[in-house]
Amino acid sequence: AQKVTQAQTEISVVEKEDVTLDCVYETRDTTYYLFWYKQPPSGELVFLIRRNSFDEQNEISGRYSWNFQKSTSSFNFTITASQVVDSAVYFCALTNENQGAQKLVFGQGTRLTINP
């Protein structure tokens, strides 16, 4: 069975600090896909990144970066120089290779609060 664990329930930092959100996953599949989503107070989930199991290159997009390490089954997300607008609940998710519907397994989410 697949499982995603986000051990950090809530994180609170001061603006401009760097913050890392942890994600640990479990799967028996050799091919799988990992995702991060952001849920601002409005409620809509916003897609941030998708990574497949064969691509362990770290990804950087502006102030956001992702560290994928298969050896530790982790896919961590770092926000550099955090801003108040980064305040949201962040979800890590996992799915296996499937030509049909992709059933996402979500972690419980990490509520990130950036204080001015």
Q: Which residues bind another protein (CB under 8 A)?
A: 31-33, 35, 37, 42-47, 50, 52, 89, 91, 95-104, 106-109, 111
Q: Which residue has the tokens 């799967």?
A: 27
Nearer to another protein, 33 or 86 (CB): 33
Nearest alpha-carbon partner for 73 in 1, 8, 4: 4
Give the separation between CA 107 and CA 96, rounded to whole angstroms. 15
Give the separation between CA 109 and CA 88, rounded to whole angstroms. 10
φ and ψ at 104, to 5 degrees? Answer: -80, 135
Nearer to another protein, 46 or 81 (CB): 46
Nearer to another protein, 70 or 103 (CB): 103
Q: How many residues can be counted in the chain?
A: 116
Q: In the complex, what is the shortest distance from the CB of residue 79 to another protein, in angstroms, rounded to a whole number?
A: 19
